[in-house]
Structure 1
Amino acid sequence: MRKASIITRARKAFRALIRSASGYDAASGSGRWPHSYALSAPISQQLAASRVAARKIGHQSQNNALIASIIQHAVTAIVGDGPSVRSVHPDPEIAAQLHAAWNKFFADCSVEGGMSLGGYLSRKARAFFVDGESFTKLIVDPDAMRLKLQLLSADQVDSAKTLPSFGMTGDTPNIVAGVEFDDAGRRAAYWVLPTPPDSPWASVAPPVRVLTQDICHVFEPQWPGVPRGISPLTAVAGLARELDDALDASIVKLKTTAVLTAFIRDPEGYMLKDHPLLPMLEPGAIMRLPEGADVQFSPTSDMASLSEVLTHIERMICSGAGVPAFFATGDYGSVNYSAGKLALASFQRRIKAIQQNHLVAQLLIPIWDRIVLLEVLSGRMRAPDYESNPERYAASFLFPGWPAIDELKAAKANTLAVAAKLRSRADIIAEQGRDIADVDAEIAADPYADDDLSSDATNIANQPDTETQNA
């Protein structure tokens, strides 16, 4: 027993020596950092926490006003009314045929029916913020040879399906949280439950293997090799929960303060007797109390700094979520023009990153490729160079642009940029989510397009700003 205690103490002393030898406080050298305050195994810890976090954030998305506002503004900014497509094929006839096929798909894209691609992408973007990921199954109607999309819940991809290969090759797959990898580390398949586990009368059938070519997985991999996603609101979910508690406590405090109570003290007990002149507290009454009696009221709570504390917490939550605080809270009176423009620019970069890195790369490009393939295989489109020149059948996606804060200043800046050859018309038009070919076609069809409006435009551009005149 004594020998065991000596060995235990020696081990503890050795570990303490190793920690102190690091010389870094973040490495627990000083003992200030708890051992639980570390991601020692990020992938495993994320897989264990992702579904629990999704359920909690899903609850907040329906019950926490700030989280609901953050998700609503982010989803609207990412999707808008849906992207337009621009085919890069040099043949105008083929490009027009591909656009027609895309427009037909855009109008009704879901297997459920009655949903445009814009509405479908809104559901995808919402799942991205709540679950941290979303899955789409590409389904082809064998009769019409048309593509339809089936939205899968994150729980429908069986996260309990884990089968390590232990480095073996051949028939032993490597499955982690419902995602199957081949020997080279590429995603080979997903193991999908027939129905969502939370649906009424859910199926108890085991998961089915679906090839990765038929599944689009939209998520943000935060660690190398992580197979699943986690909500970007995970870092602020706890603080949002504390904000709820603080608001509830503040409301109770206000209600308690509003209940004003008066306490009449009478040391001689005169007022406690059955006396006809017993005073009754009434609004606006002037009362004469017996000698030695006085009145005390319940103390009122000081809430002068409460607004600043709650506002600071809201700003921290919005900052962690990547949404400007004045967007989510609706408090536009607390931001000036310069600060609002800077916050909006940062928010736009974040939104553009999500659009291009996740929606376009992980979902829209596979959808477009499948639509083109179906047009070729069905014989609806003749494409002799489809296999030899597949790059001709690519496309770019244009999301709705951001409205200018000051349209006159933006028009002047764009005009100067084009005149100085710093930007092109195509770049400026694409920034608004439109195709330059469509704009040129509209201008060509405009009966007033031949009128010389250049002098009027020059006069307008040379006018000084009203803000400058007032200054």
Structure 2
Amino acid sequence: MTRPGIITRMRSGLKAFKRAYSGFDITGSSGKWPMQSVITAPISQQLAASRLASRKIAWLVENSALVASIVQNSVTAIVGDGPTVRPLHPDPDVNAYLQTAWGEFYSACDIEGRQSLGGLLARVARGFYIDGESFVQLVTDPQTMRLKLRLLTADQVDSSKTVPSLGMTGDQPMIIAGVEYDAVGRVVAYWVFRTPPDAPWASVSPAVRVPAEDVAHTYEPRFAGAPRGISPLIPIAGLAQELDQAHDAAIVKLKTTALVAMILRDLDGSAVAVDTATDPASIALEPGTTIKLPPGMEAQFPPTAEMTAIGEVLKHFARTCCAGAGVPYFMAANDYGEINYSAGKLGLATFQRRVKALQANHIVAQLLDPIWRRFVLLEVLSGRMRAPDFESNPERYGASFLWPSWPPLDELKQAKADTLNVAARLKSRAQIISENGRDVADTDAEIATDPYAAGNLSASAATIASQNEPENENA
């Protein structure tokens, strides 16, 4: 027996190494990984696909029941009926004035005069899911010196406006997809069309430069340096369209299965001369009738396919779409027959964390905070509010926003948990009130003026903890 040479052993070793490394199939060396399934330039590819993708997502939202439900439930969960504001100034009189002025602004903030701030935020959240971004222009009414908001469409910011700086003219700004940057990298302006490009009789004038401090851009940058956003529903768009087509095919199949069809075959060719009573063209299946076939004819019925598993297949696709969108399936499909208390609470907890992240990181940080700063600035500059320390202590004129709370799955269990947490000093009363979307001062004022709250109606933690709960077999 002869041993292989050194060259043969080296070749076999290299092949083994190649097989072991390509087993991960991340480089595509095995041929199993599609070569087109790679993102080589994330920002450029996103900018190229975002506008067409938003149009397809918009079509799905208007035509797909599941995608429409996903967007509707997400927007409702994020905005609700709108947040309440809590000014942070140490002077209660200043806080009271700011709350009153903010209430007036809340009800009449839209420059079109049609919606309150809650309705505008719902449109912003809807644009976030369809276009991946929303733009709100901060406008000062020249007659009243009050803040007004103008919602811009994503197409209204000129995505074709790209002017590279190239570093040859010093401080020349760089414009990418309608977003202008200075030499340091700060966003300094947006290039905006006067009217939406898809509006009837839209203006054909070129985009104008709007300073960045006058525009609130709400979006989620998926990659570092991404100037624009893209819809978070992109991963499920293709599957959602296939799911709709599968639904249509299943409906057609159900309709054809419900039909009674018959095929007449001439077995030996003897059915040549037939009278009108036995003419195959005049034969029809009717309830309670007896049909006499011509001599030599045989009746056959086409087979019908089984559809017992189609429901589970369609449900699996729907669950995958909901998982990709971050919305619980039972909420989007309005299907609560297969969940219990624990499963529902677990599914809602994950969804609530996502909603809170969107509220804090995007709606508040990118939109409500700039609106509040401009609102307070106009109140001071117009002379409606006296603020001698506004420039020296601007942090005193900040605010926090309280969102509507989620209704508990079991009110008695939630009340027990809140009472025990306060008794054990794990939570404060103010924290629990804030989690319910209320202000502590407002709650205390309402309790103080409530004649039924004059006595001590609160129960001890031990009393509440010992209360019996209703039996729940699925808990």
**Do they superpose with TM above 0.5?**
yes
C-alpha offsets along residues 49-97 of structure 1, whole Å, 9 cap, x if unaligned? Answer: 0001000001111111111111111001100110000011110000111
For 1:396, what is the secondary structure of its paired residue? Answer: strand
Q: Could you tell me how far apart the structure 1 residues matched to 2:95 and 2:19 are?
A: 64
Go from structure 1 to structure 2 and tell me whether the alpha carbon gap of 1:455 and 1:187 turns closer, same or farther (over 3 Å shift).
closer
2:150 pairs with 1:150: yes
Of the three residues 304, 315, 323, the one matched with 1:300 is 304
For 1:254, what is the secondary structure of its paired residue? Answer: helix
Q: 1:372 corresponds to which letter in structure 2?
A: V
Q: 2:174 corresponds to which letter in structure 1?
A: N
1:20/1:29 contact within 8 Å kept: no
Go from structure 1 to structure 2 and tell me whether the alpha carbon gap of 1:19 and 1:192 turns closer, same or farther (over 3 Å shift).
farther
C-alpha offsets along residues 108-158 of structure 1, whole Å, 9 cap, x if unaligned? Answer: 101100310000000000000000000011001123110000000001110
* Greater mean alpha carbon deviation, residues 85-94 or residues 270-279: 270-279
Query: Partner residue of 2:69?
Result: 69
C-alpha offsets along residues 216-266 of structure 1, whole Å, 9 cap, x if unaligned? Answer: 000001100000000000111111111121112212222222222122445
Query: Partner residue of 1:323?
Result: 327
Q: Could you tell me how far apart the structure 2 residues matched to 1:281 and 1:29 are?
A: 61
2:314 pairs with 1:314: no
Query: Partner residue of 1:243?
Result: 243
Query: Partner residue of 2:370?
Result: 366
Q: Could you tell me how far apart the structure 2 residues matched to 1:306 and 1:156 are?
A: 43
Map 1:313-462; keep pairs closer than 5 Å: 313-454=317-458, 461-462=465-466
Q: Could you tell me how far apart the structure 2 residues matched to 1:141 and 1:374 are?
A: 10
Map 1:218-233; keep pairs closer than 5 Å: 218-233=218-233
Q: 1:214 corresponds to which letter in structure 2?
A: D
* Greater mean alpha carbon deviation, residues 196-205 or residues 254-263: 254-263
Map 1:285-296; keep pairs closer than 5 Å: 285=289, 294-296=298-300
Q: 2:413 corresponds to which letter in structure 1?
A: K
TM-score of the superposition, structure 2-length normalised?
0.90
Go from structure 1 to structure 2 and tell me whether the alpha carbon gap of 1:249 and 1:77 turns closer, same or farther (over 3 Å shift).
same
2:420/2:461 contact within 8 Å kept: no
For 1:119, what is the secondary structure of its paired residue? Answer: helix
Q: CA deviation at 1:454?
A: 3.6
For 1:183, what is the secondary structure of its paired residue? Answer: coil
Query: Partner residue of 2:3?
Result: none
Q: Could you tell me how far apart the structure 2 residues matched to 1:109 and 1:82 are?
A: 13
Query: Partner residue of 1:465?
Result: 469
Go from structure 1 to structure 2 and tell me whether the alpha carbon gap of 1:455 and 1:75 turns closer, same or farther (over 3 Å shift).
closer
Q: CA deviation at 1:284?
A: 3.4
C-alpha offsets along residues 296-344 of structure 1, whole Å, 9 cap, x if unaligned? Answer: 2121121121111111110111110111111111111122221111111
Q: Could you tell me how far apart the structure 1 residues matched to 2:56 and 2:339 are?
A: 31
Go from structure 1 to structure 2 and tell me whether the alpha carbon gap of 1:450 and 1:285 turns closer, same or farther (over 3 Å shift).
same
2:433/2:439 contact within 8 Å kept: yes
Q: CA deviation at 1:469?
A: 9.9
Go from structure 1 to structure 2 and tell me whether the alpha carbon gap of 1:295 and 1:158 turns closer, same or farther (over 3 Å shift).
same
1:132/1:219 contact within 8 Å kept: yes
C-alpha offsets along residues 262-301 of structure 1, whole Å, 9 cap, x if unaligned? Answer: 2244535666643587486432345676886543212112
Q: Could you tell me how far apart the structure 2 residues matched to 1:112 and 1:436 are?
A: 34
Q: Could you tell me how far apart the structure 2 residues matched to 1:159 and 1:259 are?
A: 53
For 1:135, what is the secondary structure of its paired residue? Answer: strand
1:109/1:147 contact within 8 Å kept: yes
C-alpha offsets along residues 353-396 of structure 1, whole Å, 9 cap, x if unaligned? Answer: 11010000000000001111111111111111111111111100
For 1:362, what is the secondary structure of its paired residue? Answer: helix
Q: CA deviation at 1:453?
A: 2.1
Q: Could you tell me how far apart the structure 2 residues matched to 1:458 and 1:301 are?
A: 62
Give the percent of matched residue pairs that are identical in Structure 1 and Structure 2.
Answer: 61
* Greater mean alpha carbon deviation, residues 446-455 or residues 319-328: 446-455
Q: 1:360 corresponds to which letter in structure 2?
A: V
Query: Partner residue of 2:9?
Result: none
Q: 2:257 corresponds to which letter in structure 1?
A: T
2:139 pairs with 1:128: no
For 2:149, what is the secondary structure of its paired residue? Answer: strand
* Greater mean alpha carbon deviation, residues 369-378 or residues 281-290: 281-290
CA RMSD of aligned residues (A): 2.4
Q: CA deviation at 1:105?
A: 0.5
For 1:206, what is the secondary structure of its paired residue? Answer: coil
Q: 1:55 corresponds to which letter in structure 2?
A: R
Go from structure 1 to structure 2 and tell me whether the alpha carbon gap of 1:270 and 1:137 turns closer, same or farther (over 3 Å shift).
same
Query: Partner residue of 1:53?
Result: 53
Q: Could you tell me how far apart the structure 1 residues matched to 2:77 and 2:332 are?
A: 12
For 2:85, what is the secondary structure of its paired residue? Answer: strand
Q: Could you tell me how far apart the structure 1 residues matched to 2:19 and 2:165 are?
A: 35
